[in-house]
Amino acid sequence: MSETQTQLLTKSGILIREMNEGDLAPQDAYFEGASDEFLIRMGVDPSKIRGKKSNPNHYAEARKIPWRERPTFGFAFEQNGKLIGGSALKGIVYGDRADVHGHLWDESLRGKGLATGLALEYLRHVFNLFELKTLIAEPSVGNIAPNKLLQKLGLKIVDTYEIPASGILLPRNANRYEITREFLDFDR
């Protein structure tokens, strides 16, 4: 996939682009700098990430796989040339479904409407790229910001359940939101 296909400049001036090697160190620094309380609220097990660095070859290895077959895909968000956060799609089945979550790495940027302004354009962008039918978001019940953000967009909780621990994630109680083409096509 060419860079231009994965890139989008939003109306609010945020550049969305594919993550690359240069984003690993700031991403590691975000997780390393986060308090245990913050990580646990997101469902991340602090003991699984403390002192760990991302595999420097992660994106080089990912690029060896044709992008339509990749199970995960990372997007970076830049504002005025500065990296401010990112979003990962996981469990991608091209033409069908994926899971989504996102982060603003700089705490001072949170709670100011930035993600609300970006979310619909971002979600439409990845829907088109991966020709999705459903995007699933499963924020932890106690993590207020993403739940509020999704509900502000007009989404409803369709289920609440316990997700078992996996990878760096703790077992957690999560709300499920399902983002569909019909939802995104509706003029908002």
Considering the complex, state which of residue 74 and residue 102 has its C-beta at the smaller distance from ligand COA: 102
CB within 8 A of 122, min separation 6: which ones? 8, 10, 16, 75, 87, 102
Give 63 or 156: the residue with its C-beta nearer to ligand COA: 156
Among 152, 154, 159, 171, contact with ligand COA (rule: CB under 6 A):
152
Q: Give me the half-sphere count of Cα atoms (radius 13 Å) on the Cβ side of residue 143.
A: 24
116 near ligand COA, rule: CB under 6 A: yes
Tell whether residue 145 is a contact of ligand COA (CB under 6 A).
yes
| Interface residue with ligand COA, options 132, 146, 170, 179 (CB under 6 A) | 146
Q: Which residue, 67 or 109, has its beta carbon nearer to ligand COA?
A: 109
> Tokens for 113?
């409407």
Tell me: does residue 103 bind ligand COA (CB under 6 A). yes
Strands of 73-79's sheet, edge to edge? 8-9, 14-18, 73-79, 82-93, 97-104, 134-137, 172-180, 159-163
Show the site string, 17-56: x = touches ligand COA by CB under 6 A, - = not.
Answer: -------------------------x--------------
* Residue 143 lies near ligand COA (rule: CB under 6 A): yes
Helix ranges restricted to H, the chain: 3-6, 24-33, 36-42, 46-49, 58-62, 114-129, 144-153, 181-185
User: Residues in the site for ligand COA, rule: CB under 6 A?
Assistant: 42, 101-104, 110-116, 139, 143-146, 148-149, 152
